[in-house]
Structure 1
Amino acid sequence: MFSRILIPYDGSTGAERALVKAAELAKLCGARVVVLTVYRHHSMLEASLSMVRGAAEPGHLDDAMRSHARDAADYAKSLVRDAGVAEVSAFIRAGQPARTIVAVAREKDCDLIVLGSRGLGATEGYLLGSVSHKVTGLAPCPVMVV
Structure 2
Amino acid sequence: MFNRIVVAVDGSKTSLKALDKAVDLQKLMPEAEIYIICVYKHHSLFEASLSIGRPDDMDIPDKVLSEYAREVVNHAKEVASEHGATKVRGFVKAGRPSKTIVKFAKEKKADLIVVGTKGTNSDKDGMFLGSVSHRVASNAKCPVLVV
Q: Tell whether the structures are fold-level matches, with TM greater than 0.5.
A: yes
Q: Which runs of 4+ in 1 moved over 3 A?
A: 43-47, 54-58
| Pairing of 1:60-139 with structure 2 (within 5 A) | 60-122=60-122, 130-139=131-140
How far does the alpha carbon of each residue in 1:56-79 deviate from its partner, in whole angstroms, 9 at most, with x for none? 984211110010011111111111
Q: 2-side partners of 1:137 and 1:47: how far apart?
A: 35
Count of paired positions: 141
Quick check: which one's helix share is greater?
1
Q: 1:47·1:61 contact (CA, 8 Å) conserved in 2?
A: no
In structure 2, relative to structure 1, the CA distance for the partners of 1:104 and 1:122 (3 Å cut) is: same
In structure 2, relative to structure 1, the CA distance for the partners of 1:131 and 1:57 (3 Å cut) is: farther
State the shift of 1:55 in Å.
Answer: 3.2
Q: 2:37·2:101 contact (CA, 8 Å) conserved in 1?
A: yes
Q: Which amino acid aligns with 1:34?
A: Y
Q: 1-side partners of 2:87 and 2:140: how far apart?
A: 23
Match of 1:11 in 2: 11
**Runs of 5+ consecutive residues of structure 2 not aligned to the other structure:** none
Fraction of identical pairs, as percent: 39
How far does the alpha carbon of each residue in 1:49-105 deviate from its partner, in whole angstroms, 9 at most, with x for none? 4x33x6398421111001001111111111112211211100000000011000110
Q: 1-side partners of 2:103 and 2:20: how far apart?
A: 23
Q: 2-side partners of 1:56 and 1:75: how far apart?
A: 30
- SS across alignment from 1:84: coil
Q: 2-side partners of 1:58 and 1:11: how far apart?
A: 24
Match of 1:59 in 2: 59
Scaled by the length of structure 2, the TM-score of the pair is: 0.86
Match of 2:39 in 1: 38
In structure 2, relative to structure 1, the CA distance for the partners of 1:134 and 1:68 (3 Å cut) is: same
Match of 2:28 in 1: 28
In structure 2, relative to structure 1, the CA distance for the partners of 1:56 and 1:79 (3 Å cut) is: farther
